[in-house]
Amino acid sequence: MSASPPTGGPTLAIVGATGAVGTVMRSIVSERTDVWGELVLVASARSAGRKLPVRGRDVVVRELTADVFDNVDLAMFDVPDEVSAAWAPVAAARGVVVIDKSGAFRMDPQVPLVVPEVNPEAAHVRPKGIISVPNCTTLALILAVAALHRAFGLREMVAASYQAASGAGQAGTDALYDQLSKVAGNRSLGQRPGDIRAFAGDGGPFGAPLALNVVPWAGSLRDAGWSSEELKIRSETRKILGMPDLKVAATCVRVPVVIGHSIALHAVFESEVTRADAQRVLRAAPGVTLIDEPERGEYPTPADVAGTDATWVGRVRQSLDNPRAIDLFVSADNLRKGAALNAAQIAELLVPELAGS
């Protein structure tokens, strides 16, 4: 691969560069306007020494150590919670601005939870030197919700998610493909209790087979039967919008989709909202693409949005029972806007600040 010289901008490190989101991050950094100088790729010891393509050249992966952050201006972390919890403060202590994709700091009151289209100003106030990126499911819905909130005043929302296998990492994607290969072509399956499980196995990371099935669970168990994914939608939406008392209820479901989280959303507002009102706001919202012509069979699906950057919205309806409520369907690529793209957008937001420091 031919080399491309650095631009002289801030030095960027990608921590977790070999993972699923790290791979997408390298692609996004390569696709977008080049505002970075040196690029440092970081991963675990077992990946150190590998060469990975990014921004037109091959870069050698370095092992995650304290010294790797020397002369780095900004680091984007995509690693497990426990790794971020241990290493993000190390990087911050060396003067690095950390953008962290894990859940380690999202609810820390001294760590801003940032979506550039919604609360960009929060990125500039970071007492711990760390900025957190919301969960991929929250990111799939927040652009639409925030736009409607600004126009009509959100009071409460009920969300049902349809989450892709890739949300469970590479193990989730592999498990779905393995299960599909086991059940493919067997037209007798799905007609008797347990027959899919007998062919597809115990479900791997999903707890039940995902092929020819949906699983009404994502995340880990929390109090009173709630899952961690469901509580993330509630707590993160509240924090991003600055509405600590917002009423939110969520049910998270895994579906046999590789990439693309979707949400069916019921939102109640302070004022009456017609379908046309909501469509007008969504059509103008940054990062949102409205595709809402069901009479022509046009609405977003995960199969259509995978690999894209927008939040896609359709099936917009005024509630039949409450003129202050809107129902809609949202779909977004959980590896791009749901992870890597949002982090890259935050990083780009900070380039002028870093260049002037």
Q: Annotated active-site positions, please?
A: 136, 261
Question: Cα–Cα distance between 215 and 209 in angstroms, integer?
Answer: 8
Per DSSP, 295 falls in state G
Per DSSP, 319 falls in state -
Residue with tokens 């999903």: 206
DSSP, residue by residue, 194-223: THHHHHH-S-GGGSS--TT--BS--S-B-G
Question: Cα–Cα distance between 87 and 55 in angstroms, integer?
Answer: 25
3-state secondary structure of 20: helix
Question: Cα–Cα distance between 108 and 89 in angstroms, integer?
Answer: 13
Residue with tokens 């631009």: 7
Question: Cα–Cα distance between 228 and 235 in angstroms, integer?
Answer: 10
> CB under 8 Å to 93, separation ≥6 — which residues?
129
H or E element that contains 264: strand 261-269
**How many CA atoms lie less than 13 Å away from 6 in the CB half-sphere?**
11
Q: Is 224 left (phi over 0), alpha (psi -120 to 50) or beta?
A: left
DSSP, residue by residue, 43-92: E-GGGTT-EEEETTEEEEEEE--GGGGTT-SEEEE-S-HHHHHHHHHHHH
Question: Cα–Cα distance between 22 and 163 in angstroms, integer?
Answer: 20
